[in-house]
A = this chain, B = another copy of it.
Amino acid sequence: MKIMIAGLGLIGGSMAKSLVRAGYSVGGYDLPQVLRRAEEEGAVSEHLRAEDCDVVFVALPPDAAMAYIGGTAFKEGAIVADICGVKEALEQFVYARPRSFRYVGCHPMAGKEVSGFENSSETLFDGASMIVVENEHTDAAAIETLERLFSEMGFGLVKHCSAAYHDAKIAYTSQLAHIVSNAYVKSPTADGFPGFTGGSFQDMTRIAGVDEQVWTRLYMLNRGAVTEELRRLIGHLNEYLAALEGGDESALRELLKLGRLRKAQLDEERKIL
């Protein structure tokens, strides 16, 4: 099986390295200097053309991924799987065109607050979840092949869902969290924070440093769901603000209690999984 990875950043580089760890040799596609470094580190060892590959992982940001998928001649029946953080936009792009490859939208639930091949790791996906998007076009054999590869890469779990379901969940679990973190650091009170936190502040702001080029596009391509979640969160925060401004102790206590009970419910969900 000939495998190529287009885009050797944090995710693509980690996919290459984890496939090498599993005994595969893979081809790569990226800027010359990135490709050279990936070859030097043994993450990429084959010179492959996309048209000769059975599986092509497209580990590029959304716009670049669409440009690559739209502009590349793939082998007939090849599996082409992107790993973008938005899935409906990709599906709309791919299914609007005639194609002879088998498309599967994926999204690995693993990352770091840093990017680039230099931060990639063969262990990034160990035990992580991979989301695989399915719809009426999806080829069952392609899913089977990918699931085997994902397992070999170290993923501990594969979740199947529609693109809309994925986009709604990710708008909340990831995209909203990055906005909150990015906004949180903007208070001038953050100056001189070292020594004045035991970890809450660090957790809240770990992911504040988003690449604004990539993330602006991700937000725009999932604008409806992100807008809804952000509006909802601001609505909730305004309830606490009103209680504080009004000095309404019992209202504040009730708001905090509801959050505590909700958190306990979610902790149970995690245990059940």
Task: Show the binding face of A for B, using Cβ within 8 Å.
Answer: 108-111, 128-129, 131, 157, 159, 166, 168-174, 176-187, 189-201, 203-213, 215-216, 219-220, 223, 226-227, 229-234, 236-241, 244-245, 247, 249, 252-260, 262-264, 266-267, 269-270, 272-273
Query: How many monomers of this protein are in the complex?
Result: 2
Identify which of B207, B220, B232 contacts A252 (C-beta below 8 A). Answer: B220
The residues of B that contact A215 with a CB separation of less than 8 Å are 256
Q: Per a CB cutoff under 8 Å, which of B159, B168, B197 touches A109?
A: B197
A-B pairs with beta carbons under 8 Å apart, 20 shown: A111-B199, A129-B196, A131-B195, A168-B189, A172-B189, A178-B200, A182-B259, A182-B260, A183-B237, A183-B239, A183-B259, A186-B262, A203-B207, A205-B263, A205-B266, A208-B259, A210-B260, A212-B253, A234-B234, A234-B241
In-complex Cβ contact of A204 among B166, B189, B204, B241 (8 A): B204
In contact, A194 and B269 (Cβ under 8 angstroms): yes
With a cutoff of 8 Å between Cβ atoms, the chain B residues found around residue A264 in the complex are: 209
Shortest beta-carbon contacts, A-B, top 8:
A182-B259, A212-B256, A194-B273, A208-B263, A109-B198, A159-B195, A172-B189, A173-B201
Q: Which residue of chain B is the closest to A156 with respect to CB atoms?
A: B195
Are the CB atoms of A233 and B203 closer together than 8 Å? Answer: no
State A151–B138 Cα separation when bound (angstroms): 62
State the majority secondary structure of interface residues on A.
helix
- State A262–B240 Cα separation when bound (angstroms): 26
Known: A195-B131, A223-B247. A201 touches B174 (CB 8 A): yes
Query: Are B262 and A208 in contact, CB atoms less than 8 angstroms apart?
Result: yes
A169 touches B192 (CB 8 A): yes
Task: List the B residue with the shortest CB-CB distance to A201.
Answer: B173
What residues on B are CB-neighbors of A170 within 8 Å?
196
Please state if A230 and B226 are interface contacts (CB–CB under 8 Å).
no
Q: Do B233 and A157 touch across chains, with their CB atoms under 8 A apart?
A: no
- Is B169 in contact with A196, judged by CB distance below 8 angstroms? yes
Instruction: Name the residue of chain B whose CB is nearest to the CB of A204.
Output: B177
How many Å lie between the Cα of A265 and that of B127 in the bound state?
A: 33
> What chain B residues lie within 8 Å of A168 (beta carbons)?
189
Give the distance in Å from the alpha carbon of A241 to the alpha carbon of B194 in the complex.
Answer: 30
Residues of B within 8 A of A266 (CB): 185, 190, 193, 205
